[in-house]
Amino acid sequence: MDKVKVGVLGAGRGDMMIKYCANADNAELVAVCDFNEFFLNRAKARCGTETVTYYSDFEDFIKHDMDAVVLANYATDHVPFAIRCLEAGKHVISEVLPFETLKEAVELVEAVEKSDKIYAYAENYCFMPSTREMRRLYREGKLGELEYGEGEYLHNCESVWHEITQGNPNHWRNLMYEHYYCTHSVGPLIHITGLRPVEVTGFELPYNARKGRMGGKGTLAALEIMKMENGAYCKSVHGDGISKNSIWYTLYGPMGRMESAREDVQNGKMKFLYTNLDTYEGENNREDYVKGYEPRDELSDKADSYGHGGSDYYSMWNFVEKIRGKEDADTIDVYEALDMGLTGYFAFQSALMGNIPMEIPNFRSKLVREKYRHDTACTNPAKAGEMLLPSSTQGDIEIPDSIYEGLREKWEKKMAEDIANNYVKK
């Protein structure tokens, strides 16, 4: 196969995948779909209309001649579109999260199993320089088997909330329970080690004034304590309403520790990895006390200008290469994606039930997943029916309309500025 023809659904976050295709030598952008005029026009301004066709309706978009679709639409809407794309014979890469309800998770696995196309989950934090290198070292046996791990994805989103929710009180980011957006912190722990989480206990951090100003109904952050299939434990914490950002991972094994840089210690060096590894299991046999370095490979120069420490480049590159026949391209398949997403789902169930440990079902088993075929529990009333979930363990939080009106005004001002600037990125 020459260049893979890619279509992108959702041109907000999808802008990054659009950029990938515009510059890649293994893919080309052929179609973009967004029903929001602002985002569609922004894509047009950036990519031109010569080789790319623009759609506002998915039904027209899906008929376009393309090999693969990037799903960068609403996080809670990925499954119905993934199924439509697979049925139409397209390869699919899905942004986070993999599903909203367990019913959808069952339907997604079934659609992928039925299809001969590739489904990849774009959990980009697995492809940061540090997490990529941790995976390589772990798979080479440098750490030994995991004993303990931690993952953090803490992101104070207040300054961009008007841009990413547009003042819409029903935007998925405003309705979600905080455990939902779990895979940036949970995902790398799973992808590095290849271990399945089998049990989870969930805790919510409190609701705070920042979340009130943002109009989000989930708490400020959520915490998962996961038991892995080998008996190791991992801690994952993530949230959008915390004061300071942290992207950080650490893993311990019998031969030492490897961890990415703490942002406060190595400001601007989030790509750094520190290893403190023994050459064999036992005392005093370290080669170096601690080695700190920025892991780089043959793709790093190209990846440097991409978001999230260059990880956005790698998730697309691997997906496209897999389509082109590179069997060992590093993609996240549907089962691994569900292991990641189910951890947050069951952590919230645990938190709702007073923090009791919950088993995480293995959706590789038809028998196990059958139990969830009709489970529509989620925070979206239209989808949940009688199984509506609250957005936090604290019940429904009332947000005055004025909060959303203020955010909407801010968003309209930003749109006007961007249009006047012909959508050029600052």
Ligand X SMILES: NC(=O)c1ccc[n+]([C@@H]2O[C@H](COP(=O)([O-])OP(=O)(O)OC[C@H]3O[C@@H](n4cnc5c(N)ncnc54)[C@H](O)[C@@H]3O)[C@@H](O)[C@H]2O)c1
Q: Is 183 in the site for ligand X (CB under 6 A)?
A: no
Site for ligand X in 278-337 (CB under 6 A): 308
Report in angstroms how near the CB of residue 16 gets to ligand X at its nearest. Answer: 8
Parallel, antiparallel or unpaired: strands 222-228 and 233-239: antiparallel
Given candidates 7, 10, 188, 241, which one binds ligand X under the rule CB under 6 A? 10
Task: Count the alpha carbons within 13 Å of 197 in the hemisphere toward its beta carbon.
Answer: 37
Report in angstroms how near the CB of residue 285 gets to ligand X at its nearest. Answer: 39
Q: Is 72 in the site for ligand X (CB under 6 A)?
A: yes
Closest CB to ligand X: residue number: 12
| Cα separation, 93 vs 71, whole angstroms | 6
Residue 163 or 199 with smaller CB distance to ligand X: 163
CB atoms within 10 A of CB 150: 17
Residue 77 or 375 with smaller CB distance to ligand X: 77
Query: Taking contact as CB under 6 A, which single stretch among the options 45-53, 68-76, 249-257, 269-277 is the one that binds ligand X?
Result: 68-76
CB 10 within 8 A of CB 71: yes
The site string for ligand X over 335-374 (x = CB under 6 A, - otherwise) reads: ----------------------------------------
Query: Taking contact as CB under 6 A, which single stretch among the options 35-43, 140-148, 152-160, 249-257 is the one that binds ligand X?
Result: 35-43
Given candidates 4, 6, 32, 75, which one binds ligand X under the rule CB under 6 A? 75
Report in angstroms how near the CB of residue 39 gets to ligand X at its nearest. Answer: 4
Residue 14 or 256 with smaller CB distance to ligand X: 14
Angle between helices 37-47 and 401-420 (to 10 degrees): 20
Tokens of 4: 């893979």
Q: Is 43 in the site for ligand X (CB under 6 A)?
A: no
Report in angstroms how near the CB of residue 408 gets to ligand X at its nearest. Answer: 14
Q: Is 164 in the site for ligand X (CB under 6 A)?
A: yes
Instruction: Give strand ranges (E) for 186-241.
Output: 197-204, 222-228, 233-239
Handedness of CA 274, 279, 280, 283 (dihedral sign): negative
Report in angstroms how near the CB of residue 355 gets to ligand X at its nearest. Answer: 26
For 271-305, letters b (16+ CB in 10 Å) and e give: bbbbbbbbeeeeeeeeeeeeeeeebeeeebebbee
Residues 6+ apart with CB under 8 A from 118: 68, 91, 92, 319, 322, 323, 331
Given candidates 32, 34, 137, 352, which one binds ligand X under the rule CB under 6 A? 34
Residue 34 or 67 with smaller CB distance to ligand X: 34
Site for ligand X in 96-135 (CB under 6 A): 96, 124
Q: Which helix (H) or strand (E) holds 120?
A: strand 119-121
Given candidates 6, 7, 13, 377, which one binds ligand X under the rule CB under 6 A? 13
Parallel, antiparallel or unpaired: strands 27-33 and 53-55: parallel
Tokens of 336: 């691994």
Q: Is 167 in the site for ligand X (CB under 6 A)?
A: no
Residue 281 or 417 with smaller CB distance to ligand X: 417
Residues 6+ apart with CB under 8 A from 327: none
Q: Could you list the residues that contact ligand X (CB under 6 A)?
A: 10-13, 33-36, 39, 58, 72-75, 77, 95-96, 124, 164, 308
